[in-house]
Structure 1
Amino acid sequence: MTFPSEPQPSIYVRRIGEGPRKLFALHCTIAHSGAWSGLAAALSPKVCTTAPDMLSHGRSPDWDGQGDYFDLVSRLSAAELSEPMDVIGHSFGAMIALRLAIEHPERVRSLVLIEPVFFAIAKRDAPRLFDQYEKDAEPIAEAFAKGDKTLAARRFNRMWSTQISPKWPDLPERTRANMVRGIDAVPAVHAALYDDTFGLLNPENLKRVSMPVLLLSGSESHPVMPAICNGLKQRLPDATHTKVLGAGHMLPISHPVETAALIDEFWETRSPLKAD
Structure 2
Amino acid sequence: MPIQKVNGVNLFYELIGENNNPLVFVHGSWGDHHSWDLIASPLAQHFRVLTYDRRGHSQSEQLTKQGFVVEDVEDLIQLVASLQLLPANFVGNSFGSIIVLKTAIKRPDIIKSIFIHEPPLFSLIQNNPKAKPILDVVQPTIRKVMELIAHGEMKNAATLFVNQIALGAGQWEKLPPTTQQTFINNAYTWYDELQDPDSLTLNINKLADFDKPVLLSTGSESPSIFPMVMDCIENVVPKAKRIALQGAGHVPHLSHPQEYVQLIRQFCSAAEK
Q: Same fold (TM over 0.5)?
A: yes
Q: Which residue matches 1:185?
A: 189
Q: Check conservation: 1:119, 1:193, Cα contact below 8 A.
A: no
1:189-228 equivalences under 5 Å are: 189-190=193-194, 191-194=197-200, 196=201, 200-203=202-205, 205-228=206-229
Unaligned residue ranges in structure 1 (runs of 5+): 1-5
| Secondary structure in structure 2 of the residue aligned to 1:10 | strand
Paired letter, 1:267: C
Q: Check conservation: 1:84, 1:109, Cα contact below 8 A.
A: yes
Partners of 1:157 and 1:189 in 2: how far apart? Answer: 17
1:122-271 equivalences under 5 Å are: 122-125=125-128, 126-128=130-132, 129-135=134-140, 137=142, 139-144=144-149, 146-158=151-163, 159-162=165-168, 165=171, 167=173, 171-172=176-177, 174-190=178-194, 191-194=197-200, 196=201, 200-203=202-205, 205-269=206-270, 271=271
| Secondary structure in structure 1 of the residue aligned to 2:109 | helix
Q: CA deviation at 1:208?
A: 4.2
Unaligned residue ranges in structure 2 (runs of 5+): 1-5
Give deviations 1:139-160, integer Å, cap 9, x for gaps. 4244245442332122112231
Paired letter, 1:253: L
Scaled by the length of structure 2, the TM-score of the pair is 0.85
Partners of 2:125 and 2:146 in 1: how far apart? Answer: 19
Paired letter, 1:56: G
Paired letter, 1:177: Q
In the alignment, is residue 104 of structure 1 matched against residue 107 of structure 2?
A: yes
Partners of 1:163 and 1:127 in 2: how far apart? Answer: 20
Tell me: CA distance 1:7–1:84, structure 2 relative to 1, closer, same or farther (3 Å). closer
Q: Which residue matches 1:3?
A: none
Tell me: CA distance 1:202–1:224, structure 2 relative to 1, closer, same or farther (3 Å). closer
Q: CA deviation at 1:181?
A: 2.3
Partners of 1:268 and 1:55 in 2: how far apart? Answer: 30
How many pairs align? 259
More displaced stretch, 76-85 vs 177-186: 177-186
Q: Check conservation: 1:213, 1:238, Cα contact below 8 A.
A: yes
Q: Which residue matches 2:56?
A: 56
Report the RMSD for the aligned CA atoms in angstroms.
Answer: 2.4
